[in-house]
Amino acid sequence: KLLMMPFSYTLNDIVGARVGEFVQSGGTVFADARCALTDDHGWLHYPVPGAGLSKVFGASEKSVTSTPSVELKMSSASPHLAQSLGKVMVGAGFKEVLEPQGSEILGEFDVKEPAVTLNRHGMGHAVLAGSYLGLAYVRYDNPIFRMFVRDLLSISGVEERLRVETVPGEIDCWIEAKALETSDSAMVFLINHSDRLANVDLAFKSVKGFKKAVNVLNREEVALESEEGSSRFRRRIEAGECAITLLEG
């Protein structure tokens, strides 16, 4: 349902057409600065995004400058934004001012220059950002990008079954979360990639209605709250360590 295309600098017309078909049939695509600048022989496309994608995104490159970082102010009124509504996101690498062609402006650089657009193409949506948002997230750890990704998931109709949040009042940490589910149980893996202790709250959606949570590493029971198809628990994870939780019915 959601196709993420970071650093898609080189794309040929065949791939561009396939992306367009994906969106036309109901998918959502996200791409960032200088998307499809060249084909696979190094020839420049025009306009940018090339390979027919300017029509899909409903926007093209108006101007571009290199920059270590740049701020993007997200719209405070768009119905497509919930998590990142009105927030300031950070980009890196380029400040690519976009020229909307029928698309909605989701975010702007300073002096109200279009930075993020959303276009309805066929049955789907195409979102274009004029900077490297993922790169900025890794470099500068701006948490607003995670909120924006959740908005992309919402736009594409993807259900967020596993959600991790830092306990309120504590410093945000980089936590990787994965889950494996069987017919009567589930196992949730949390990895703390940050350099500090993390206390995190996790919500896992499942119709099974789990009644017990166990720390797999020491077999101690973990406090669990289950209601309306969602199981919630809290874990404490040291820097660079992992936590594995078994959920049982």
- Do 191 and 224 share a domain, yes or no? yes
Which residue(s) pair with 176 in the sheet? 191
Q: Residue 181's pLDDT is what?
A: 93
Spatial contact of 98 and 117, defined as CB atoms under 8 Å apart: yes
Q: Tell me, what's the pLDDT at 171?
A: 60
| CA–CA dist 77, 210 (Å, integer) | 38
**Residues 7, 70 within the same domain:** yes
181 and 115 within one domain:
no
| Pairing assessment for the beta strands 224-227 and 230-237 based on DSSP bridges | antiparallel
Beta strands 114-121; 162-166: pairing state: unpaired
Q: Residue 118 is part of a domain; what is its CATH number?
A: 3.40.50.880
Domain end among 90, 122, 156: 156
HSE-CB at 160 with a 13 A cutoff on CA atoms is 17
Same domain as 21, residue 100? yes
pTM above 0.95, yes or no: no
Q: What CATH number corresponds to the domain at position 194?
A: 2.60.40.1180
Same domain membership, residue 25 and residue 99: yes
What residue numbers bound the domain in which 132 lies?
2-156
Does 118 lie in the same domain as 33?
A: yes
Per-residue pLDDT of the chain (249 residues; tens, 9 = 90+): 999 999 999 999 999 999 999 999 999 999 999 999 999 999 999 999 999 999 999 999 999 999 999 999 999 899 999 999 999 999 999 999 999 999 999 999 998 999 999 999 999 999 999 999 999 999 998 889 989 998 999 999 988 888 888 776 666 678 899 999 998 999 999 999 988 899 999 999 988 889 999 999 999 999 999 887 899 999 999 999 999 999 998
